[in-house]
Amino acid sequence: MDRDERIAREGVVTAVRDLDAQGLNRGTSGNVSVRFRDRLLITPSGLPTARMGPDDIVPLAFDGTHPDGLKPSSEWRFHRDILAARPEIGAVVHAHPIHCTAFALCGREIPAVHYMIAAFGGPNVRCAPYAPYGTAELSELALAALKDRNVCLLANHGMIAAGESLEKALWLAVELETLCWQYAVALQVGAPNILSDHEINGTVERFRGYGLNAVDKG
């Protein structure tokens, strides 16, 4: 393992611990991957984040093979398939935050109740239909829900955020949980106002130079 790979592995460990620290995940259910050279680096299966170190991160080839003795996350398929299908994506975050998952349990998409939804690429956040975890079917459904988007919900499961960098993917995950929380509270208050597709599409364009988008482009 050279220095660059160790730094990349350390970044994955830090990211998955950040999910716990920010309350987006608990236990061993979240997983993180990052594109590295001709493969991806992904969190292992069933290892608590407190015990996870750089040597536990699994190098996974795009054909699904990995070194003996290391077991990648059970959700490696959609991590691999997203990175294979979307060359602009550099990292994928999957977690089960409370409010995202609550809407996923109901199979509900998130409409344009706040202009920040534009950060996700369009006027809604889709919810992929249910499929068992770790399956090729779930991966296909997730890819469809992510068309022209960088986040989605997974019915009766959780959420996915995909970004150009690990920092961006984590930022998107936090923003999605925040939006779902706001929407959940608004539904208790009354009937949230939904912004038009025209308004959101204009905001998508303005967001191309906003926040981490500007950082990513130097």
Question: At 77, which amino acid appears?
Answer: R
Q: Please check whether residue 46 is in contact with residue 28, taking contact to mean a CB–CB distance below 8 angstroms.
A: yes
CB contact set of 78 (below 8 Å; sequence gap of 6+) = 92, 94, 138, 139, 142, 143, 160
Closest CA to 189 of 118, 113, 126: 113
Q: How remote is the C-alpha of 212 from its chain's centroid?
A: 16
Q: Please check whether residue 125 is in contact with residue 112, taking contact to mean a CB–CB distance below 8 angstroms.
A: no
Query: What is the spatial distance between Cα 17 and Cα 26, in angstroms, rounded to a whole number?
Result: 10
Phi and psi angles of residue 77, each rounded to the nearest 5 degrees, phi first: -60, -50
Catalytic annotation present for 75: yes
Name the catalytic one among 75, 164, 175, 177: 75
* Catalytically active residues, by annotation: 75
